Amino acid sequence: MKKAIQNLSILFSMLTLVAIFTSCSDDDDSSSTDDGPSSNAIELNGQVTEDMMLDASEEYQLTGVFSVESGATLTIPAGTTINTNTGTDVYIVVQMGADIIIDGDPDAPVIMSPNEEGTWGGLVILGEGETTAGTNATAEVGGLIYGGSNNNDNSGSIEYLIIENSGAQINADSQYNGLTLYAVGSQTEIHDIAILNGEDDGIEFFGGAAVVSNVYIEDLQDDAIDWTEGWNGSLTNTYVLHTRDDFSTAIEADGNEEKPTIENFTAVSQTGGTALQFKSVSGANISGLSLSGYDTSVELADAEGDFANIQIEGQDSNPNNTYSNPSSVDLSIFSWINDALTEPETLSGQITADTSLDAAITYYLDGVLSIESGATLTIPAGTTINTATGTDVYIAVQQGADIVINGTPSAPVRMKPSEPGTWGGLVILGEGETTAGVDATAEVGGLIYGGTDNSDDSGHIEYLIIENSGAQINADSQYNGLTLYAVGSETYIDNIVLLNGEDDGIEFFGGAAVVTNVYVEDLQDDAIDWTEGWNGSLTNTYVLHTRDDFSTALEADGNTEQPTIENFTAISETGGTALQFKSVSGAIITGLSLTGYDTTVELADAEGDFANIMIDGVISDPTNTYDADATVDVSMFDWRNN
């Protein structure tokens, strides 16, 4: 992903780009320095004549004019990145009668940006609203047609969109903008837009009545906001930052006496210049204006202009007023921009000294991250670790090492792949007892575990979400979400969520780990699995199966140790087996509630004995449905959605 926009990072005071393991480029140029698109990139150009939806998991390259034709809808889902060529013949255009749906969200905005030095044509939308240029006017871009008589026209919806490095030169007199709205109507939904580092305007309105809100614009060469041809819509919650000294204005208005509504407009210049410029007889109704650092606050560019046409807080505008009011826009509403553009710190290799991550930094696990004996890795609340996929991507806490995961209900720690596929999850290696013996070798990476201390302490974990684990190790085994090899009872593990994995949720290999408050949803194999004589406890577990290819809610294997399972609620929407016991394994279970399973308790091997499985003080009974009321309130895991 391209370099973060440095000025936005500074404003938020959120980032300290410190290389912890493998550092990223510290080039301050926010333009991409990538070598170009991969050979797998899907090329975008030509005409879209029927409804089309892009796929956020794919790589796209805009190589020319990509035109959405009348009657067609282009849908771009959250998290999609469109890399672009540069030049005047590279832009996306939505023709009159066509729709564009950009469904970004704060966690996964849509990004459009060149992957080479230079500028491109941005996003152009052509509507059927009113414009002083008349009906079926010809745009300065590509001879495109726009304009009609319907200011309520609807060209789709756009939310959480980032446009970078637009502004390619059309001719000697004009350039492309970031977002160009030709006669776009008021029913087109446009909000949460960021336009960064372009060589012309950020948003330019050519007539129409477009309504736009929550706009962040940084370092445009010309005007941040520009309108002409009688635009009569509104703009709400806009933040403009100028750090370059060759910009034109924060607002430039031209045309007739229409007065669009500008509400909550904050503009900051670090290099002087003009904030608001009005040409011809144009004007506006402005409220919530905050200007900082400009040499000129309001300017009339033409003799026929009138400051009375520009109403600011209900008064005629005054060029002698600096309008240096407190900011009317809370900059934090744009934190999603910085999150999206921040280049992740890469995690892999060995941690040999105590290390703390930073929740303000996005991390990317691209290999094995091993915390070595004597070292502690601390992960604070709110940290997200995105991961590559595959069998060589996991976090391992070696014997004698510690991990401290300090999530909270409002800011859990999250580990998940950033692409479709599975990864290896979190693996902890303790010195507890296991039937595999002392210094046993794990099926994962030849790691060593097992000793004689069932009270071993490998750290502290709370409010952790692990998603899409379960990469295939070999034909017989896969990774789990949380794998506890001989982990001792002094390791604190509480409030764990495991989602959508391809093997087990938690698997215990011996030891005496004590785990509380666990939510497991749609694991392909077993939600909970143990073997090698695990002799700890599991309290308050909620399991949900909606997929039909799972194995069990609980699978036990090994010797006659009987770990304690207290308050275990499992629900299946697809039948299947709830509890399966292999060999001579057993458990002491209280507070069991099962719903929707074909089989409640099953012995997988001839040597098994239902007497080894005590449920609410009674020998287990495979004919009992155990359909008591849920013993675990699922609402206690609502934090998983934070």
pLDDT at 14 over 70: no
Prediction pTM value: 0.62
Token readout for 547 is 């997929």
Q: 418-454: per-residue pLDDT in tens?
A: 777 899 999 999 999 999 999 999 988 899 999 999 9
Q: 532-547: per-residue pLDDT in tens?
A: 999 999 999 999 999 9
Report d(CA 80, CA 252) in Å as an integer: 32
Q: 323-382: per-residue pLDDT in tens?
A: 999 999 999 899 899 877 877 789 999 999 999 999 988 899 999 999 999 999 999 999
Ordered DSSP codes for 200-245? S-SEEEESS--EEEEEEEE--SSEEEEEETT---EEEEEEEEE-SS
Q: 205-251: per-residue pLDDT in tens?
A: 999 999 999 999 999 999 999 999 999 999 999 999 999 999 999 99
Most distant pair of Cα atoms in the chain: their distance: 99
Q: What is the dihedral of CA 548, 551, 554, 557, to 10 degrees?
A: 180
**Residue ranges covered by each domain of the chain:** 6-247, 344-641
Cβ-contact 559, 534 below 8 angstroms: no
pLDDT at 591 over 80: yes
Report d(CA 95, CA 182) in Å as an integer: 10
User: Residue 344 carries which DSSP code?
Assistant: P
Q: Residue 174, Cβ neighbours under 10 Å: how many? A: 11
Task: Return the closest-CA partner of residue 164 out of 332, 362, 331, 4.
Answer: 4
Name every residue whose Cβ is closer than 8 Å to that of residue 328 and which is 6 or more positions away in sequence.
264, 265, 266, 288, 289, 290
**What is the C-alpha end-to-end distance of the chain, expressed in Å?**
24
Cβ-contact 123, 91 below 8 angstroms: yes
Task: Return the closest-CA partner of residue 603 out of 627, 590, 622.
Answer: 622
For 254-281, what is the mean pLDDT? 95
Cβ-contact 129, 208 below 8 angstroms: yes
What pLDDT is stored for residue 37 in this prediction? 52
More confident residue, 342 or 305: 305
User: Residue 272 carries which DSSP code?
Assistant: -
On average, the pLDDT of the chain sits at 91
Report d(CA 269, CA 367) in Å as an integer: 43
pLDDT at 6 over 80: no
Name every residue whose Cβ is closer than 8 Å to that of residue 606 and which is 6 or more positions away in sequence.
none
What pLDDT is stored for residue 210 in this prediction? 98
Ordered DSSP codes for 153-169? ---EEEEEEEEESB--B
Given pLDDT bands bounded at 50, 70 and 90, which one contains residue 555?
very high
pLDDT at 24 over 60: no
pLDDT at 254 over 80: yes
Token readout for 492 is 């604190």
pLDDT at 129 over 80: yes
Q: Residue 416, Cβ neighbours under 10 Å: how many? A: 17
Given pLDDT bands bounded at 50, 70 and 90, which one contains residue 594?
very high
What pLDDT is stored for residue 1 in this prediction? 29
Report d(CA 393, CA 640) in Å as an integer: 23
Cβ-contact 560, 531 below 8 angstroms: no
pLDDT at 266 over 90: yes
Given pLDDT bands bounded at 50, 70 and 90, which one contains residue 36?
very low
Q: 87-119: per-residue pLDDT in tens?
A: 989 999 999 999 999 999 998 899 999 988 889
Name every residue whose Cβ is closer than 8 Å to that of residue 257 and which is 6 or more positions away in sequence.
281, 282, 283, 309
Q: What is the CA radius of gyration of the chain?
A: 30
Instruction: Quickly tell me which residue has 């074909």 as its tokens.
Output: 598
